[in-house]
A and B are shown apart, each in its own frame.
Chain A
């Protein structure tokens, strides 16, 4: 095969793999997922492809609200940690509401819970995981 053909094959294979990242647990947006209804919540809702999970960096909280903000359909868990850490710096309690396994859950002062207020990953992961998904624009 000519060099140009190999380059083409490599690009097309690379682009396809990039787009299949939702199932590798690596990324959700940027992968041609627009208007697909593909769920960012584990274990996923695809008919036949599983959604792998390497860490909680790609996890989303459903119907989530920080403090008195309006609720978002999906908020990235790591974004919530960064945002709560920032707001908790003022010393005031900050509440967190979200749906947990179908039931509404409320944490009155999420600043006391390191699970929700201590970032665990690099901020640069925002390129893979946007803060919120499904907001109307």
Chain B
């Protein structure tokens, strides 16, 4: 049986896209799964037998998740969610690298969701808890950035073209947004659309300039959970209408992605990143209408 809360269904579908983004970046772009180097990376498990077992389990886990993610995009049933949850747990245990940050966030969300939906069958608390997990993740990321090296990292990411004072302001802004905006977006119904747009603006360059297509998409998958049920239903109705403003915003978002993305980004990763940008752009007019209350409703 599927979830009945539209926000949860949207989250589950978006997170499946997040898994596909993760697979594309980690196992197609950074460590192509068909190469000899990839197979050799399982040597970290010690004996050849253990390496072969880990590779076999990894293949089963990722294949099951890929198939179930595609099916869950159409209809996220609880059976499919179980397979995706257990599959990601297995993948995390036998992957030949340390667990990436976005996988840790996805694991926490999926495990919590599994416990709440399959054991407690409590959808409203699942929505609250998942929102809280995202807020905790953002807050911890902000706390980590409060160090002497973050401004230098940001300066490097921005190509060392900006004055030091401006980089410091941007660094403070990034920390402030991660620390405060998600909480405010959850608490303030009125400011929520504008604050979520601010978070989308924060994630956009991660997806384009940095080419990190996995974390931003996984994090933004949680955003439907921030709305009240009736609010989200309205937004979904608007998104289903294929209005010109939404299509134009999607096209503009892809154009911006192309302008901000390094030319040498691997083609598969760039294609997924552009697709994600178009989905973000498609949702922007709905958020803008709510952020600017004087604008005419559709």
Q: Which range holds the interface residue count of chain A?
A: 35 or more
Task: Give the interface SS of chain A, mostly helix, strand, loop or mixed.
Answer: loop
User: B153 contacts A12, CB within 8 Å?
Assistant: no
User: A22 contacts B99, CB within 8 Å?
Assistant: no
Interface residues of B in 154-192 (CB under 8 A from A): 154, 157
A52 within 8 A of B: no
A38 within 8 A of B: yes
Task: Pick from A5, A32, A33, A49 the residue with the most CB of B within 10 Å.
Answer: A32
CB-based nearest A residue for B148:
A45
Q: Which range holds the interface residue count of chain B?
A: 35 or more
- Give complex CA distance A31, B104 in Å: 7
User: B140 contacts A37, CB within 8 Å?
Assistant: no
Selected from B44, B108, B137, the residue in CB contact (under 8 A) with A126 is B44
Selected from B97, B144, B153, the residue in CB contact (under 8 A) with A32 is B144
B145 within 8 A of A: yes
User: A4 contacts B116, CB within 8 Å?
Assistant: yes
User: A16 contacts B136, CB within 8 Å?
Assistant: yes
Selected from A4, A33, A126, the residue in CB contact (under 8 A) with B144 is A33
- Write the B200-241 contact mask toward A (1 if CB under 8 angstroms, else 0): 000000000010100100000000000000000000000000
Which A residues form the contact surface with B (CB < 8 A)?
2-5, 7-8, 11-12, 15-16, 18-20, 22, 29-39, 44-49, 123, 126-131, 137
Which B residues form the contact surface with A (CB < 8 A)?
30, 44-46, 97-101, 103-105, 108, 111-112, 115-116, 120, 122, 125, 128-129, 132-133, 136-137, 139-141, 143-154, 157, 210, 212, 215
